[in-house]
Amino acid sequence: MSGSLQLNIPRRGDVRCLYSEVIDLSALGPLLISRGSHVEPDEQGQWVADLSPVGGPRLGRFPRRSDALAAETQWLNRHWVSPPGD
């Protein structure tokens, strides 16, 4: 299996990451999985990443879904998985 997974494990011991099947996350303990965003097309067929489920912004309008997914992943890793000052 290929891919990468960014894990943030602060001193308090909880783990934050974007869900992936790169490793068996249940090996780390009980899981609490929740949606971090929604990537959807708008009325003009452009793609928007809505990060409001984690208190983030709306990113986009992107011409391709893959561009919105890449922006979503980058934002979540930088601001939610490993937020500044954590």
Task: Give, in degrees to the nearest 5, the angle at Cα 83 between 82 and 86.
Answer: 85
Overall average pLDDT of the 36-47 stretch:
96
pTM confidence score: 0.82
Digit-coded pLDDT (tens) for 14-39 = 788 888 888 898 888 898 889 999 99
* Cβ neighbours for 40, distance < 8 A, ≥ 6 positions apart: 47, 48, 50
Q: Is the model's pLDDT at 9 over the cut of 70?
A: yes
Q: What is the mean pLDDT of residues 62-70?
A: 97
Those residues whose C-beta lies under 8 Å from the C-beta of residue 86, and which sit 6 or more positions away, are: 8, 10
When comparing pLDDT for 3 and 11, which is higher?
11
Q: Is the pLDDT of residue 1 over 70?
A: no
